[in-house]
Structure 1
Amino acid sequence: MSDRPVILLVVGEHADVVEQEFRARYDRDYRIEVAPGFDAGLDRARDLVRDGAQIAMVAAEHVLDEGTSIEFLHHVPAIVATARRVALVWFDDFADAIDDLRAAALRRDMDTFVVIPRGPRDEEFHTALIELLSEWGWSVGRPLVTINDLVAEPGDRAAAAVRDLLERLGFPYRSLAPGDDAAQEIVEAAGVGAELPLVRTHTGRVLSAATPAAVTEAIYGGFDSIPDGVIADVAIVGGGPAGLAAAVYAASEGLATVMLERDAIGGQAGSSSMIRNYLGFPRGISGMRLAQRSRIQAGRFGAQFFTGRPAIRIEPGPANEPEHQHVHVAGAQMCARTVVIATGVKYRRLGVPAVDDLVGAGVYYGAATSMARELQDRDVYVIGGGNSAGQAAIHLAKFAGAVTILVRRESLAETMSAYLVREIEATPNIQVWTRTVVTDGGGEGRLQWLRLENLDTGEPFKTLADGLFCLLGAEPDCSWLPDGVALDERGFVLTGRDVPREFWVDGQPPASLETTVPGIFAVGDVRAGSMKRVASASGEGASVLPLVHAHLAQIRAREFAQ
């Protein structure tokens, strides 16, 4: 049997057109299977799964012998939950079917619907399919072409963190055991005394005792490579959606732009399995893809990236550089005329020591989408009631036997977008336990059980658990900012009219996204009063540029006056 992933076509009256269109484009990389009709399609899907085939996509004609594509695709997740599901609609049937198709897509009975091509080179049709296949390949399939190699013992916590980083960056990699033949060359190159995990990067360099920080620094270039004497027009601290948007717009407008990021470029949003309400992506986009595209876009305009170390302080320049800010990381600094703080937020810790001791061994903070494959048919718990928790639960449900969402509140609707609540309700292996918290947990070397408590009854109970994903809400880390930057009572950065009046100058507040220190701006989730959404963070990142230009103009005017 071919080891190519399968695209299963379930066809009706237009079988010849559908099969020809798919074979012409995808027959080299995928095995095209054709089933004539509703029952034959379900039977063929079951046979393929039983035979161990990977089904990447199921595409069904809307009009079938025993029902519609909507009814057919509704049955597919019970057979193969990870396959992408597409309804193929003949043009003449589209007007009558559109309302039902939209409702089905909203219920998540399918991933998308497309009109069957009526002529050659229907690129809109194939764009929809390729997007879905690309996301399947990243989240389910294993890459055939890799640019990084990871050598580690099974269950290595440090290796799990590196895998999560590489998945969030969208860098294909191989995961090898030390005894694998393919690993021997890497072990030998690392030399005597090297420690696992080992990572061989795209440059051929082998990292010993690899950490996420070391890997990302090796990929993008470390802070030690910052040239002496370089002064950036804008230094952006933080590489989430807000920082990336600021980098794209600043660099595109000719400003010397650098981004400093401690972790994976993309921030928390980069770990989201699928963002469905971001403008311009009707079929949704993963956080990894959004971050990857934004990073490439900013880089093509000339933005530079330095990653792997956190910013530790910002200081004003010396007397001969009064208009400059110096952003310090361990062992290096960046001089800039303006600074944009876009460090976002971090997930709050659970505060249960026995559970926190198992981080990386069944317990994860954040979506950790790279671990979903490892939890096939297992019992998984997700803590949190926000959109990130909902997205993580839906993604995990494609692999896990059962997913349970734990929330303190009375319902998910209080904190989660309606489209995610609907999708959770429509996913049979997800259940929601409200007014429930984790009080204890443990296991032999990795998570095996949790103790939960109902907040209304106070009743504790124990349950088996193979994975726990904590997405507990957000808190900023602004302790490294200078004292002159005002924060609110929760530690978020104050900007514009939210700044206390004693910091206003001549009765005027700072600009809308400017902090109490002239030339230092804040955008995205780290800013007090922000919406804590990807789209709003991106908007703030773009909106800060006119304020940066205005401050740079003031600097030039003062220098000219001297």
Structure 2
Amino acid sequence: MSESPRQRPVILLVSSRTHRDALEDEFRSRYWRDYDVRTLEGIDGAADAAAALVHDGHPIALLGVDHTLEGDPLALVDELRRLSPSSRRIVLVSMASFREALDELRPALAVGRLDTYLLIPQGPRDEEFHTAIAEYLSEWATTTSGPEVAGVRIVDDGRQPAVAGIRDFLDRMGAPWTRYRPDSPVGRELLAEVGRDAPLPLVAAFDRPAITGATERLVASAFYGSPRDLGDDYVADLLIIGAGPAGLAAAVYGASEGLRTVVLDPEAVGGQAGTSSMIRNYLGFPRGVSGMRLAFRARLQATRFGARIFTGHAVDAMTLGDVHEVSYGDGVLRARSVLIACGVRYRRLGVPALEALVGTGVHYGAAASVAREMEGRDVMIVGGGNSAGQAAIHLARFARSVTMVIRRPSLGETMSSYLVDEIATHDDISVSTRSRVTDGGGDGRLEWVLLEGEHGEPQRMPIDGLFLLLGAEPGTDWLPDEVVRDDRGFVLTGRDIPKDRWRDGRPPAPLETTVPGVFAAGDVRAGSMKRVASASGEGAGAVSQVHAHLAPAPD
């Protein structure tokens, strides 16, 4: 039975009389099956009509506003953002008025008042236009709505902290999931298969045995394979530790150039960048790209060339030799060269009462699945880097209020200016400078935190979600002493290595460590820029140095 229009997400178009028929035909011909396409003529009454849709519970996926409307189209966009902050906002521009419109839209784009502008199609099959529309609808569906088809079923009773990490992992890997209570029909059916007293959470998918007492790493290793599948005699040409931008770029270039390439990561593909809700300054993505989508595409690209990527496997140690051995859990991988691309991890807050609530209101990073649950709630973000800024903007689509807590006097000291400017346009995002969180608690989940400023009494604040993005420290404790690091644990490479560690008076290659055949790229490398683009470039560049190392020595 087909859906009625009232059951579908809404695409709301506000158009002039000149463009109404063309726009309505363009959207209805492509999207009517899955979206309720509604067209309003003129600015008058548009905000009231949108408010009525929101009041009646109709999700507005996309707002398209004709720039040729009489009045102030951008003011209407601002009003619609307040009414439906999770909607994607597009200004539709005619070819005739493009040059004049761009002067007005450019500063609005810079501060995030709208997501993009698009030229109104001039004829049939304007695929560039529809590619942009499809991308925005996809981003809206990924971050805002639940999946239509559940590939993974999770059974829990709401008291298992591990569920937050499992859901975040599945979101980042592009695997749709649905949660069920133990007393639901699906929950009872799955528990009957494994035993009523089986520990929760229970995770089942892909016709594989259900996992009881599931954790993020158990789910990752069960669903996406184990390095043991390669066989005991397998030797990789290039073993990459870490599946962030640097590791994925190295996997693409290494595998495409014929190297037997293997990637290990303890979490989901994408690293910290994979948790970013929207990266707007990455080359080649003028409309921005989410970290999850960027990582998903890079994973497909690497595996297409033959790279083997294994998640849920943390590296414990590395033994050096002509063939290096890397230990993970209960297994060992051998490789002729190793690229350390494990990135950095968020520093811990160090407040015992809040550490005990991780997964039940307290989160390291900003999981998209958790953000959806913050609708109408008050949340706090601790951190002032780009990841924290992106998280604040994303959470503001759902939360009633977002408070950013930083120790410095201003965001501009640690955050890109485009994010600072966009945050300033959000009335529901506030910034508490020279402040820190010192305590918190709740009955089974987070309910309050104690915020301490530079002066004055600590303030107890009711908070439903605390997102911790506290800066970076390298996870390099597993490396042998032969791989030299700086005093913070970042790996030294090339000319940054002390001269007394150079070989034959010559420095190692720019991305090579003190050990021949062991390289480092991305955020874990001392002196790196800590940006997605630079990490990707280093990962790609490391492959040419790996080739030079593996090449036979000249006679």
Instruction: Give TM-score scaled by structure 1 length.
Output: 0.96
Partner of 1:300: 304
* C-alpha distance in structure 2 between counterparts of 1:193 and 1:254, whole Å: 50
Cα distance in 1 for residues equivalent to 2:334 and 2:160: 39
After TM superposition, the structure 1 = structure 2 runs for residues 99-498 of structure 1, keeping only pairs within 5 Å, are 99-191=103-195, 193-317=197-321, 323-455=322-454, 457=455, 459-498=457-496
Deviation digits for residues 322-377 of structure 1 (CA, Å, limit 9, x no counterpart): x2111111111111110000000110011111111111111111112221111111
C-alpha displacement of 1:458: 5.2
Is the 1:247–1:298 contact (alpha carbons within 8 Å) kept by the matching residues of 2? yes
Question: Which contiguous aligned blocks of 4+ residues in structure 1 show a shift greater than 6 angstroms?
Answer: none
Secondary structure in 2 aligned to 1:419? helix
Structure 2 residue matching 1:63: 3-state secondary structure = coil
Distance 1:39 1:202 in 2: 51
Question: For residues 219-254 of structure 1, what are the alpha-carbon distances to aligned partners after superposition, in whole Å with 9 as ceiling and x for unaligned?
Answer: 210233231211111000101110000000000111
AA partner of residue 39 (structure 2): V
Q: Provide Cα deviations, 1:518-558, integer angstroms capped at 9, x if missing partner.
A: 000000000000011111111100010110000000xx338
Provide the secondary structure at the position in 1 that maps to 2:390: helix
Q: How does 1:512-551 map to 2 (within 5 A)?
A: 512-551=510-549
Q: Distance in 1 between matches of 2:209 and 2:305?
A: 28
Partner of 1:59: 64
- Which amino acid letter does the alignment assign opposite residue 295 of structure 1? R
| Aligned-partner Cα distance in 2 for 1:233–1:17 | 56
Match of 1:503 among 501, 504, 509: 501
Task: Please name the residue that 1:38 is paired with.
Answer: 43
The amino acid that maps onto 2:231 is P
> How far apart, in 2, do the equivalents of 1:185 and 1:299 lie?
35
Aligned to 1:320: none
Cα distance in 1 for residues equivalent to 2:37 and 2:133: 14
Amino acid at match of 2:59: Q
SS class of match (2:283) = coil
Distance in structure 2 (CA, Å) of the matches to 1:280 and 1:191: 51
Distance 2:416 2:206 in 1: 39
Whether the aligned pair in 2 keeps the contact of 1:504 and 1:510 (CA below 8 Å) is: yes
| Post-superposition offset of 1:11 | 1.2
Deviation at 1:191, TM superposition (A): 3.7
Task: Single out whichever of 377-386 and 365-374 deviates more from structure 2.
Answer: 365-374
Contact 1:87 1:110 in 2 (8 A): yes
Instruction: Give the 3-state SS of the residue equivalent to 1:380 in structure 2.
Output: strand
Question: Does the 8 A contact of 2:279 with 2:289 survive in 1?
Answer: yes
Note if contact 1:201-1:218 (Cα within 8 Å) is conserved in structure 2: no
- Kindly indicate whether the alpha-carbon contact (under 8 Å) linking 1:11 and 1:60 is maintained by their aligned counterparts in 2: yes
Q: Which of 14, 19, 28 in structure 2 is aligned with 1:14?
A: 19
Q: Distance in 1 between matches of 2:159 and 2:425?
A: 33
* Distance (whole Å) between structure 1 residues aligned to residue 82 and residue 474 of structure 2: 41
In structure 1, the residue corresponding to 2:335 is in which secondary structure? strand
For residue 557 of structure 1, what is the amino acid of its counterpart? A
Distance 1:15 1:458 in 2: 57
Name the aligned partner's letter for residue 318 of structure 2: I
Is the contact made by 2:319 and 2:480 (CA closer than 8 Å) also made in structure 1? Answer: yes
The yes-or-no answer on 1:78 pairing with 2:82 is: yes
In the aligned structure 2, how far is the partner of 1:189 from the partner of 1:48? 43
C-alpha displacement at 1:176, in angstroms?
1.4
Q: Distance in 1 between matches of 2:157 and 2:290?
A: 29
Deviation at 1:155, TM superposition (A): 4.1
Offset of 1:153 from its aligned partner? 0.9
Residues 502-525 of structure 1: per-residue CA shift (max 9 Å, x gap)? 110121111100000000000000
**Residue 193 (structure 1) shift:** 4.2
Quote the Cα distance in structure 2 between the aligned partners of 1:349 and 1:383.
11
1:106 is displaced (CA, Å) by: 1.1
After superposition, what is the alpha-carbon deviation per residue over 1:469-488, rounded to whole angstroms, capped at 9, x for unaligned? 11110001111101100010
Q: CA deviation at 1:296?
A: 0.4
Q: The residue matched to 2:118 in structure 1 has which SS? A: strand
Preserved CA contact (<8 Å) 1:369 1:392: no
User: What amino acid maps onto 2:173 in structure 1?
Assistant: L
Shift of 1:192: 5.1
Q: Counterparts of 1:35 and 1:531 in 2: how far apart (Å)?
A: 47
Structure-2 separation of matches of 1:435 and 1:168: 33
Q: CA deviation at 1:32?
A: 0.7
- Match of 1:343, as an amino acid? C
CA contact (8 A) 1:39 1:66 kept: no
- 1:98 Cα shift? 0.9
Partners in 2 of 1:131 and 1:183 — Cα distance?
A: 34
In structure 2, the partner of 1:557 is 553
Counterpart CA distance in 2 for 1:153 and 1:396 is 25
Letter in 2 for 1:184: R
C-alpha distance in structure 2 between counterparts of 1:417 and 1:245, whole Å: 24
| Residues 224, 331 of structure 1: 8 Å contact kept | no
Native 8 Å contact 2:163 2:359 kept in 1: no
Paired letter, 2:88? R
Aligned mate of 2:33, from 28, 31, 38: 28
> Aligned partners of 1:106, 1:126: CA distance in 2, in Å?
23
Partners of 2:344 and 2:397 in 1: CA distance: 28
CA deviation map 1:434-482 (0-9, x unaligned) = 0011111111111111111112x25322211111111110001111101
Counterpart-to-counterpart distance in 2, 1:80 and 1:19: 21
Query: 1:148 offset after TM fit, Å?
Result: 1.1
Q: Percent of counterpart pairs with the same letter?
A: 53
Q: Which amino acid aligns with 1:527?
A: R
CA contact (8 A) 1:223 1:307 kept: no
- TM-score (ref. length: structure 2): 0.97
Structure 1 spans left out of the alignment, 5+ residues: 318-322
The answer to whether the Cα contact below 8 Å between 2:265 and 2:312 also exists between their aligned partners in 1 is yes
* Secondary structure in structure 2 of the residue aligned to 1:557: coil
Superposed displacement of residue 3, structure 1? 1.6
2:217 partner SS:
helix
In the alignment, the residues of structure 2 paired with residue 279 and residue 301 of structure 1 have an alpha-carbon distance, to the nearest angstrom, of 23
Cα root mean square deviation, aligned: 1.3
Cα separation, 1, equivalents of 2:520 and 2:207: 35
